[in-house]
Structure 1
Amino acid sequence: MTAPGRRSSTFSRLLRHGFTDASAAERLLDAPELAPVRNDPVLLEALGATADPDLALRGLVGLLEAQSAPAARRELLDTVIAAKPLRDRLLGVLGASAALADHLARHPQDWRALVMYEPQDLHPGVEEFERGLAEAGDPVALRVAYRRCLLSVAARDVCGTTDVAQTAAELADLATATLRAALALAKAAAPEDAALCRLAVIAMGKCGGHELNYVSDVDVIFVGEAVDGADEGKALRAATRLASHMMRICSETTVEGSIWPVDANLRPEGRNGPLVRTLSSHLAYYQRWAKTWEFQALLKARPVAGDLELGEEYVAAVEPLVWKAAERENFVADVQKMRRRVVENIPVAEVERELKLGPGGLRDVEFAVQLLQLVHGRADASLRSGKTLDALQALAAGGYVGRADATQLDEAYRFLRSMEHRIQLHRLRRTHLVPEDDADLRRIGRSLGLRTDPVTELTREWKRHTSGVRRLHEKLFYRPLLDAVAQLPSGEVRLSPEAARERLVALGYADPASALRHLEALASGVTRKAAIQRTLLPVLLGWFADSADPDAGLLNFRKVSDALGKTPWYLRLLRDEGAAAENLARVLSAGRLAPDLLMRAPEAVALLGDGDGGGLAPRSRAHLEQEILAAVRRADDAAQGVTAARGVRRRELFRTAAADIVGSYGTETQPAEADQGALVDRVGAAVSDLTAATLAGTLRAVVREGWGDTLPTRFAVIAMGRFGGHELGYGSDADVLFVHEPRDGVDEREAGQAANKVVAEMRRLLQIPSSDPPLLIDADLRPEGKSGPLVRTLKSYEAYYRRWSLTWESHALLRAEPVAGDEDLGRRFIELIDPLRYRRGGLGEEAVREIRRLKARMESERLPRGADPKLHTKLGPGGLSDVEWTVQLLQLRHAAEVPGLRTTRTREALAAAREAGLIGAEDAGILDEAWVLATRVRNAVMLVRGRAGDTFPTDGRELAAVGRYLGHGPGHVGDMLDAYRRTTRRARTVVEALFYGSGEQQRL
């Protein structure tokens, strides 16, 4: 009996060495079998180094008890203590696998299989395993020999002699040797069947891919042929009997348990199809009936047993079909749908613990890799590997996957497979569920080298890798570019110069020779950049061709690529991030404005990369103003401040233009926006907010340079016209009024001089020539027009409007809204003008007639000579002026009684008039449609030509580009013009009734 002092000391040592049940461990150490080494510190250190010291100690005692004689027991103990390699291997296995400990207890001499430590023993292949199974003359003996070989695989694994990929390969090689041995037993049992047929066993799944688990079904397909002179029917029946017997040998349970199930359900027609088919029967099925998933499964097909020559013929015959599978209709969508279906079928209680099938699990890595292989491997043979990690490395080397992404996936896959191996190794049971018991988690964590707090560390690492896999799976598996590449014919995935020229001509490129030079400049060479370009360009060429000017799209792409050539994120963005590549193609081929903006700020390409469109969502005025004011504060002087503000404006104009183009044209994954009115409103609001923020920044820059923090007078900028209505287009001027109010104690003359200097300096700085779209300040709507002062005090405005205000000025003030400067002053200006623009009692008939006369004179004087009035978006019949003046006349007459009409926005006012019964719903819809269409045409002209215009272009290619923006495909320019005339003609009819109507139109 152990003395109390010694017990206390041993107990503490056991806890320090990782034992969780020190009392039980003490009792085991006191067992007679361990008496010779009870006090040997080497044993305790070795046990403490295992995944589960308690389990290892129990297993060692069990193995010692199973030895037939004291001498055998002593030999085992002496060898364990003296030979470190054996000690590490044996105790490592005993501490990780209760099932292998039980095997050793049943076969106590099998520990000797771990003694060898020769170089050839480190990484055995099929031949070495075949030698280990050679003496098995029956199924029971085969099971014992299999477990003995498995013991050596596990020992190398837990000791770190092999990594997870090598372990998986060894398990696949052991499975191959076992299938061969089982088939040999089946043939020996039925030599007459063996004489009639050739039978090839094709490994599929993880066995075929050399990445098998410890416990897994071994997926196979059987191919049979008759030997010379034999009847094919008899030969296939014989082959079927042999195959069935081989499967039973591996799958059936005996006193030694089973090896693993052999699963042939991946064969044509699954379990409903014949177990064995001829090669020609296989090919006929795959050519006519096979589903997408069956070609994905064939990626890993590998002959492993039986007639290997026939097996190689099978693989050679089906391989071309595998690499054409991506061209099947809906191929990518089918693979994606299959993956989603797998996740949906996991029980809810298990989904978060599923290492293999759950979100972020092993299958996510495998499916992403396989999908990329099948799409890109058609043209790149380096991707045609059945091994997940090798294929992933090849995808990274070829530029199809980012290096960082590939590294993260590789690390995650290795970690998750290691967890799976350790979970299965414990009981040699087929499971992919992470256990919930802390003792199990502790053993797994320690087996993976996590020793400080194994349970916490294991859970953290597992969740980290799962989260990373989930993110990358979504990024790679659902990337829109993948589906686009898959839809290309295989001959066009990597274009030869001759094929490229033919395709360019077929796609409608006007100058294929120049286009070829661009392609060569972008994609020639062996650099990673060129490799990614070779993946992108075949798809981009098609997207450019879906525009009015594909040559310009390709040229612009080359310019952007040259500008960002040394920027590491650029091509990664196009390859990986959402619809970035397609968005860029649409933007670069839609006209001049967006490409010109992008050329001056190529880094803005990053805005296209947000998969959910968030990168193109307009930023709020407050956000823009904050950014611009911060840039102004950092600038050395006013000129630099305004330059910085212009830089923000340039980027945000590109963001707005790109979103407009993508929303109008649509993409493969995002159809064109159905609500064109919402698209117009978004553009108008975004450009107006940007203009307001730019003016606020310019004002701050001027005041800061001339007066420091405080201007001698309060100063506000009031937006007018389309600016005040939040309806600016890309090329619109900024109509404004300037108002100031001297601060207390400041002379009015001094204040006026300061205010005028501010206005002059703002206009000067904004009019400095640059390559950016101009921002012109137009103050012609001020009192007295061009002959009046540029800036007035609030009192001056009040006096003028009280005494001299004309009807047209009340009309113009309908759009007035403060946008920059002193907020309180702006608010008080609005309070001043509200009674003018929303006057009680509305307008008298004389005022209405004056507005009509003014409109008629404006149209006659401003309509360009020679222009077709019916196609003039602003002044033509049914155009912007017609709709806006009609709506504004309603506002002038009824806004005092109808609060909804007190808005600066045309469409909002029109909707309010309809709701108040001032205009019928049908008429309101007609006017709204015409206003939206005319605004879209103006935006399209600016996008296409890079300069503002109120009429359709005369150049055929530009006109076609406008048509494409408006949703009219190639050859339908005439339809576009007819649609415009029809829409505006209907609007003009409404305008004539409402705006030009006589006394019977009492609503006006």
Structure 2
Amino acid sequence: MTESRTSDRRPSLAGRLARLGFTDAARAERLLRDAERDGDRPGDELLDALGGTADPDLALGGLLRLLAAAGEKGEGARLRKALAGEPGTRERLLAVLGVSAALGDHLVRHPGHWRVLRDGAGPPAGPPRDDLLAAVGADPSAAEPVASGHGPGSLVALRVAYRRRLLALAGRDLVGMADVAEAAAELADLAAAALEAGLAIARAEVPGHGACRLAVIGMGKAGGRELNYVSDVDVVFVAEAREGEPEDAALRTAARLASAMMRACSDSTEEGALWQVDAALRPEGKAGPLVRTLASHRAYYERWAKTWEFQALLKARPIAGDPDLGARYLDTITPILWKAAEGEGFVEDVQEMRRRVEADLARRIADAERQLKLGPGGLRDVEFAVQLLQLVHGRADESLRSPTTLDALAALSRGGYVGRDDAAALASAYRFLRRVEHLVQLHRLRRTHLVPDDEGDLRRLGRALGLRTDPVGEFTALWRRHAREVRRIHEKLFYRPLLRAVARLPGEEARLTPEAARTRLEALGYADPAGALRHIEALTSGVSRRAAIQRTLLPVMLGWFADAPDPDAGLLGFRQVSDALGTTPWYLRLLRDEVTVAERMAWVLGSSRYATDLLLRAPEAVAILASDADLAPRPAEALRSEAMAAVRRHRDLSGGPLHGDAAEAASPAEEAVAVVRGLRRRELFRVAVADLLGMVDVRTVGDALTGIAAVTVEAALHAAVNKIEMEMREPLPTRLAVVAMGRFGGHELGYGSDADVMFVHDPLPGADERAAGRAAHAVAEELRRLLARPAPDPPLEIDPDLRPEGRQGPLVRTLASYAAYYARWSEPWEAQALLRADPLIGDEGLRERFRALIDPVRWPEGGIGEDAVRQIRRLKARMEAERLPRGVDRRLHTKLGPGGLADVEWVAQLLQLKHAHEVPGLRTTRTLDALDAAVEARLLDAGDATVLEEAWCMATRIRGAVMLVRGRASDLLPTDHRRERSAVARVLGYSGTGELLEDHRRRARRARAVVDRVFYGAE
């Protein structure tokens, strides 16, 4: 019957064990049966607790071994009672046994140590230094404690005491009573205590140790109080002779003490070793002396230290030995450290060293992707980014000087040097990676930073982190996600160009105190340093995060403003944009994290009043400075879709008249056009910035500005039609089209160009012609009114003066009226004007019919006769004589001066009038395309065409630059304002005004020679 009952219970127990998470339920069942026979079978409550551990199989085995080692009575009885009645003790003990086979082995060797895990026990009594010194028989209260011996017994005692405290910490760590930062800090303090105890053992071993003072400086994670469970402990030794002692002899003694201390921690015993003590970070590394004097350290770091050595010094902290000497070491080294980033190429050196390390790691280590420390997105990525930011910005901001990574990261975030989201993501990832590293090391108490590839090990890791549904899959996904995020942010921060710019500033200037700012402003050549200082104080005063970020940005941006033509205007514009954007969270973050934006913004604001005014009216447009792709002019079709959507949204569907307050408010048409003008404002800024940065050529600018204007006029036309139809209470009785003329039709608009247009309509079948004409005229007038309303953007003047009969003629004509006029009254100049007519807007069928109407006029069969040619030449000569403003230097007039725009355009147009009927390539509204077609048809010498094109492009660029710089259109190079003239030259890429004038005059002179020969027929 006993066998039957056993047989019935066995599947039930095995199934329960499997459900609890045991991976080898059969083995676990056998262990439990054996324990039951020995009287040690765990009860249901304890069994459930085992199932909650990271590795129930490991925990069960460790627990049964511990119970056996503790015995039936005494310690064993106390342990069994605690397991049954103390839930906290049970949780901590089983958590340790379920993660760490090594600590399980330690408990088997020292069963009484389980008591450090009891409820309310806390850490072993006393600070770790006193505990470990007492363990080796040294007096903790002595100035220089000496162990009672230095043989194997002392080394074993040190290791046992150390692991006892390690066990206590692991118990609290694994159940969440100590977070990863607290655990790392305790581990560093425990290591420091072990070094102090090791030094006490060394004093017992080295005769005459009193002849010297020796301080142990913790480096790396030990110095930063962020040590792992198992890690090399990096140290540097500093020593000095006591008064009256020879220095050489004292240093030899100190070197023996240091070596003995290292052996006391590193030597293997029956209790194993603690960890390696690594002094390779000392000056000259392993090739240098183990121990140096304070003066020797100072001399080395002042003269010979490499970039990476300063980075290592960030975490230097006295942790053992003579405290006074350690403090003096820190006082000596700190000022040297915080000047290091001012060295030539410091940031570049750190970045290049990081690249080399990564490349070397990829070559040497096959499983680099599994590296928690050195792999992509690993701990070192976080640490290097934080340390570089500290070294650059910590010169001026002492709050950033913490040797602890998480504390330094928090300070960088508070100071605005790192975005809150980035800092939070890095901190979260760092804590996760350190926790995984701790769990991996705790298993065997071995120094490793590799994520295991064994599924059982991965399962233990996942469960230790609280993942239960799919521990392996969930852990892997979480780890990879953190690694990707770390790598992304590391590359953004570590290779941030702003760091290089800040590092180049002297320390005082990087701080941007009022005194430093005043000195810097005067040195950089600001015309109004006092005014500039007021702007700086307004931007940086206070304790807000915004002011902190401005204090980081402005030292660098002052130099960028100074590189622009008008630094004072640049700084003023920056203050105005910053004020306009107020607390907008993305603005300063964008400038800080995307240094290209800040640098481009400085150039634009310091170069162009036109672009500055646009930005002030739409400050959110600063975001488009972030990438080259964002600055590429948008296709006209995309703009059209956006503009027409605005018109549709604002169309009044009520159909009723407006009364009272509503009548005074903006109409739907006015609201729609206001939105479209805002779109135009943004797109003008996009093109202007691309132009200022040299990212677009003359043709691209002309096309882009023409497209923006066409979309604006088309949207206004639709809004106007909607309004007139609403007022008429019926659909418009005619079709409408807008014909682009002049530079508008030639797709060569400049920033200050009017939109020359003609309006054409065609009554619908059966419509009353007079009513159709009145409606078309009302639409045209409404379109002009909508675009002429006051608004915060450059005006788009609709100029219809190129229509038949000019200002004396009707604003809108029917297609038939145009046909009659051109058949009877057209003058050669009107045919010439039609060369640039492009029906861009309105009813598509009407546009095509208008084009068919004017093509024979502008491209007459057989070309124009000699009389017409002579008339055009006389008109050109009269225009040159009469339209040039009096008193100006003709050579500086970009439009009407010799070799100017008109010269080139009239050459192209004369060739079109004479030959376009036979040469299809000449049937274009674009000047440069016409010249190219004339060369291809052998109507113009290629060299002459090149000369004309260069002169035309030069004049167009100058006109554009004048508008960008001044914010006002002009055909003349500035002559009365030295700074504006210089700014135009700088914007065009010339070092000075003289160079610009010389180049312009040379090109214009050569072009005029071609004009005289080709247009006027001069020999």
Q: Normalization by structure 1: what TM-score? A: 0.91
Instruction: Report what 2:114 is aligned to.
Output: 111
Matched, 1:461 2:478: yes
Matched, 1:167 2:183: yes
Instruction: Report what 1:264 is aligned to.
Output: 279
> Is the partner of 1:202 in helix, strand or coil?
strand
Instruction: Report what 1:668 is aligned to.
Output: none
Change (3 A) 1:713 1:407: same
Change (3 A) 1:513 1:82: same
- In 1, are the aligned partners of 2:311 and 2:391 still within 8 Å (CA)? yes
- C-alpha displacement at 1:839, in angstroms? 5.9
Instruction: Report what 1:688 is aligned to.
Output: 706
Taking the aligned partners of 2:330 and 2:931, their CA distance within structure 1 comes to: 70
Taking the aligned partners of 2:293 and 2:367, their CA distance within structure 1 comes to: 41
Deviations 1:796-852 (A, max 9, x none): 445555565554444434433343222343344445545555566555555544443
Residue of 756, 766, 769 corresponding to 2:787 = 766
Instruction: Report what 2:48 is aligned to.
Output: 45
- Equivalent AA in structure 2 for residue 547 of structure 1: A
Instruction: Report what 1:812 is aligned to.
Output: 833
Instruction: Report what 1:658 is aligned to.
Output: 689
> Is the partner of 2:234 in helix, strand or coil?
strand
- In 2, are the aligned partners of 1:220 and 1:262 still within 8 Å (CA)? yes
- In 1, are the aligned partners of 2:609 and 2:965 still within 8 Å (CA)? yes
- In 2, are the aligned partners of 1:133 and 1:145 still within 8 Å (CA)? no
- C-alpha displacement at 1:232, in angstroms? 3.4
- Equivalent AA in structure 2 for residue 577 of structure 1: E
- Equivalent AA in structure 1 for residue 443 of structure 2: H
Taking the aligned partners of 2:174 and 2:16, their CA distance within structure 1 comes to: 24
Instruction: Report what 1:855 is aligned to.
Output: 876
> Is the partner of 2:435 in helix, strand or coil?
helix
Change (3 A) 1:583 1:108: same
Change (3 A) 1:270 1:64: same
Which range moved further: 231-240 or 171-180? Answer: 231-240
Residue of 220, 224, 228 corresponding to 2:235 = 220
Deviations 1:268-315 (A, max 9, x none): 222333333222222222222222222111111111122332222222
- Equivalent AA in structure 2 for residue 721 of structure 1: G
- C-alpha displacement at 1:141, in angstroms? 4.3
- Equivalent AA in structure 1 for residue 202 of structure 2: A
Instruction: Report what 1:939 is aligned to.
Output: 960
- C-alpha displacement at 1:59, in angstroms? 1.9
- C-alpha displacement at 1:946, in angstroms? 1.4
Which range moved further: 448-457 or 705-714? Answer: 705-714
- In 2, are the aligned partners of 1:132 and 1:149 still within 8 Å (CA)? no
Taking the aligned partners of 1:345 and 1:836, their CA distance within structure 2 comes to: 74
Matched, 1:962 2:980: no
Change (3 A) 1:66 1:624: same
Question: Which runs of 5 or more structure 2 residues have no equivalent in the other structure?
Answer: 139-151, 651-666
Matched, 1:432 2:449: yes
Q: How does 1:94-133 map to 2 (within 5 A)?
A: 94-115=97-118, 117-119=120-122, 126-128=129-131, 130-131=133-134
Matched, 1:79 2:100: no
Question: Which runs of 5 or more structure 1 residues have no equivalent in the other structure?
Answer: 665-672
Taking the aligned partners of 2:1013 and 2:269, their CA distance within structure 1 comes to: 96
Residue of 985, 994, 1009 corresponding to 1:989 = 1009
- C-alpha displacement at 1:196, in angstroms? 4.2
Q: How does 1:500-579 map to 2 (within 5 A)?
A: 500-579=517-596
- C-alpha displacement at 1:795, in angstroms? 4.5
- C-alpha displacement at 1:771, in angstroms? 4.2
Q: How does 1:53-452 map to 2 (within 5 A)?
A: 53-67=56-70, 72-115=75-118, 117-119=120-122, 126-128=129-131, 130-131=133-134, 137-192=153-208, 194-347=209-362, 350-452=367-469
Deviations 1:612-668 (A, max 9, x none): 33443332222222222222223352122212212222222223223333x14xxxx
Which range moved further: 519-528 or 316-325? Answer: 519-528
Change (3 A) 1:796 1:338: farther
- C-alpha displacement at 1:549, in angstroms? 2.7
Taking the aligned partners of 2:287 and 2:864, their CA distance within structure 1 comes to: 85
Instruction: Report what 1:474 is aligned to.
Output: 491
- C-alpha displacement at 1:235, in angstroms? 3.5
Change (3 A) 1:99 1:912: farther
Residue of 770, 788, 803 corresponding to 1:782 = 803
Instruction: Report what 2:658 is aligned to.
Output: none
- C-alpha displacement at 1:481, in angstroms? 2.9
Taking the aligned partners of 1:3 and 1:898, their CA distance within structure 2 comes to: 106
Change (3 A) 1:813 1:59: farther
Change (3 A) 1:156 1:498: same
Residue of 639, 658, 682 corresponding to 2:670 = 639
> Is the partner of 1:224 in helix, strand or coil?
strand
Q: Normalization by structure 2: what TM-score? A: 0.90
Deviations 1:195-221 (A, max 9, x none): 443332211111111111222222222
Identical residues among aligned pairs (%): 63
Change (3 A) 1:631 1:168: same
Matched, 1:980 2:1000: yes
- In 2, are the aligned partners of 1:481 and 1:581 still within 8 Å (CA)? no
Q: How does 1:861-872 map to 2 (within 5 A)?
A: 861-872=882-893
- C-alpha displacement at 1:995, in angstroms? 3.5
* Backbone CA RMSD of aligned residues: 3.0
Taking the aligned partners of 2:279 and 2:914, their CA distance within structure 1 comes to: 83
- C-alpha displacement at 1:948, in angstroms? 0.5
> Is the partner of 2:376 in helix, strand or coil?
coil
Matched, 1:706 2:724: yes
Taking the aligned partners of 2:937 and 2:228, their CA distance within structure 1 comes to: 73
- C-alpha displacement at 1:176, in angstroms? 1.3
Matched, 1:728 2:749: yes
- Equivalent AA in structure 1 for residue 82 of structure 2: T
Instruction: Report what 2:31 is aligned to.
Output: 28
Taking the aligned partners of 1:462 and 1:900, their CA distance within structure 2 comes to: 63
Which range moved further: 865-874 or 160-169? Answer: 865-874
Taking the aligned partners of 1:459 and 1:25, their CA distance within structure 2 comes to: 27
Taking the aligned partners of 1:911 and 1:478, their CA distance within structure 2 comes to: 46
Instruction: Report what 2:738 is aligned to.
Output: 717
Change (3 A) 1:176 1:921: farther
Taking the aligned partners of 2:373 and 2:919, their CA distance within structure 1 comes to: 64
Deviations 1:234-258 (A, max 9, x none): 4334433333343344344455443
Which range moved further: 615-624 or 371-380? Answer: 615-624
> Is the partner of 2:361 in helix, strand or coil?
coil
Taking the aligned partners of 2:502 and 2:620, their CA distance within structure 1 comes to: 25
- Equivalent AA in structure 1 for residue 101 of structure 2: A
Which range moved further: 884-893 or 724-733? Answer: 884-893
Deviations 1:911-936 (A, max 9, x none): 55556666555544443333332222
> Is the partner of 2:759 in helix, strand or coil?
strand
- In 2, are the aligned partners of 1:548 and 1:961 still within 8 Å (CA)? yes
Change (3 A) 1:861 1:513: same
Taking the aligned partners of 2:890 and 2:427, their CA distance within structure 1 comes to: 65
